[in-house]
């Protein structure tokens, strides 16, 4: 198939492009500018396109068989949700309109577990905007969409374990907000395998599929595991709810927002699922302890990691 991908220059995209090329697909990656690192794969073409320009976008999609959208951010510049809507909602609106204009039906949307969940002031803009993007696809005429909702994704180059490793590197103790938040991390290799399989499984059209790992952990456990994978002795301090909220408010003003009030609101909902679509694809989800030490542990220390540690 000839596929157009958006948001594919990041962590998941790099793994997905390698998988798609191995399967014989042709991939056109739409980018905003030249600030990306091409993978050097023969099957991948990078094209600069302004998604806000209908003519440019339609030209980029004209000869394609399907679209895969991976665009996503964890924090916005500023507040109020405008940045999240610009990143999550506006691109889907533009892509759906372009697909309808050129006659493309197949659309795979990589969303997030818990998208759209939560109401009122307690709902994070991240989850709300992800849910709004899903609603656009469900309502679209002449679009055969599959929506995938992965949990927190781990793997080589991830922004989860690697970020906590960076935080833990130079500190003997780490005050941790929302320590009891539950997560079911899923390996990027399993996620990209599911995305690729959706292309050949028309039975997934119209479905919203949740992708999770085989184990549930608290955030506190995951951060402690990060230190152990690195071979470090660190003390993680579990903050109570009021201090977690205060930390988030303070971090709202730190450049890059390593943590934010919106992250805090997202973490009020456990990122877990009883309905793992990976099993329906015949994929047996990988355990963290079998993968993370391979890229996080110091050289020569992988063999020392104990399963379940």
pLDDT in tens, 54-102: 999 999 999 999 999 999 999 998 878 999 999 999 999 999 999 999 9
d(CA 139, CA 137): 5
**Which domain CATH number covers 18?**
3.40.50.720
Q: Are the CB atoms for 66 and 1 separated by under 8 Å?
A: yes
User: How long a stretch of residues is the chain?
Assistant: 309
pLDDT in tens, 179-232: 999 999 999 999 999 999 999 899 999 999 999 999 999 999 999 999 999 999
Residue 185's pLDDT is 98
Count structural domains, the chain. Answer: 1
Look at residue 295 and tell me if it is in a domain. no
Residue 118's pLDDT is 67
pLDDT > 70? residue 274 = yes
Look at residue 152 and tell me if it is in a domain. yes
pLDDT > 90? residue 36 = no
Look at residue 260 and tell me if it is in a domain. no
The C-alpha R_g of the chain, in whole angstroms, comes to 20
List of residues 6+ apart from 267 with CB closer than 8 A: 177, 178, 181, 219
Q: Hey, how many other C-beta atoms are within 10 angstroms of the C-beta on 274?
A: 7
Tokens found for residue 235: 């003390």
Instruction: Give me the helix-helix angle, 288-296 and 161-168, nearest 10°.
Output: 50
Least confident of 93-97, 256-260, 266-270, 289-293: 256-260
Look at residue 169 and tell me if it is in a domain. no
Question: From residue 18, how far is each of 21, 40, 96, 139 by CA, in Å?
Answer: 5, 10, 25, 32
Confidence of residue 121 (pLDDT cuts 50, 70, 90): low
Q: Rounded mean pLDDT of the chain?
A: 93
d(CA 88, CA 1): 25
d(CA 91, CA 14): 20
d(CA 280, CA 283): 7
pLDDT > 60? residue 20 = yes
Expressed as residue numbers, the domain containing 17 is 2-159+185-211
What order of strands is seen across the sheet that includes strand 66-69?
A: 44-48, 26-31, 2-6, 66-69, 106-110, 144-150, 208-211
Mean of pLDDT values over 229-238: 96
């Amino acid at each position: 198939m000839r596929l157009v991908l958006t948001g594919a220059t990041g962590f998941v995209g790099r793994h997905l492009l390698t998988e798609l090329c191995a399967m014989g697909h042709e991939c056109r990656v739409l980018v905003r500018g030249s600030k990306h690192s091409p993978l050097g794969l023969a099957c991948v073409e990078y094209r600069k396109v302004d998604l806000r320009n209908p003519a440019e976008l339609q030209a980029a999609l004209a000869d394609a068989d399907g679209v895969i959208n991976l665009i996503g951010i964890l924090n916005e510049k500023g507040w109020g949700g405008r940045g999240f809507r610009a990143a999550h909602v506006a691109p889907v609106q533009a892509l759906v309109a372009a697909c309808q204009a050129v006659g493309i039906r197949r659309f795979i949307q990589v969303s997030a577990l818990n998208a759209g969940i939560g109401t009122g002031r307690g709902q994070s803009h991240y989850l709300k905007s992800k849910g709004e993007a899903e609603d656009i696809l469900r309502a679209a005429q002449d679009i055969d969409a599959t929506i995938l909702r992965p949990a927190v994704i781990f793997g080589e180059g991830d922004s989860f374990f690697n970020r906590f490793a960076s935080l833990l590197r130079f500190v003997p103790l780490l005050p941790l907000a929302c320590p009891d938040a539950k997560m079911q991390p899923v390996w990027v290799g399993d996620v990209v395998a599911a995305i690729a399989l959706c292309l050949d499984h028309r039975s997934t059209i119209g479905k919203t599929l949740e992708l999770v790992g085989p184990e549930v952990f608290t955030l506190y456990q995951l951060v402690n595991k990060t230190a152990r994978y690195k071979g470090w002795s660190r003390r993680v301090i579990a903050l109570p709810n009021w201090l977690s909220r205060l930390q988030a408010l303070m971090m709202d003003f730190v450049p890059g927002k390593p943590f934010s009030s919106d992250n805090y609101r997202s973490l009020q909902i456990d990122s877990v699922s009883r309905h793992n679509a990976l099993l329906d694809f015949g994929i047996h989800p990988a355990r963290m302890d079998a993968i993370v030490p391979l890229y996080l542990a110091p050289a020569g220390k992988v063999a020392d990691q104990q399963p379940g540690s």
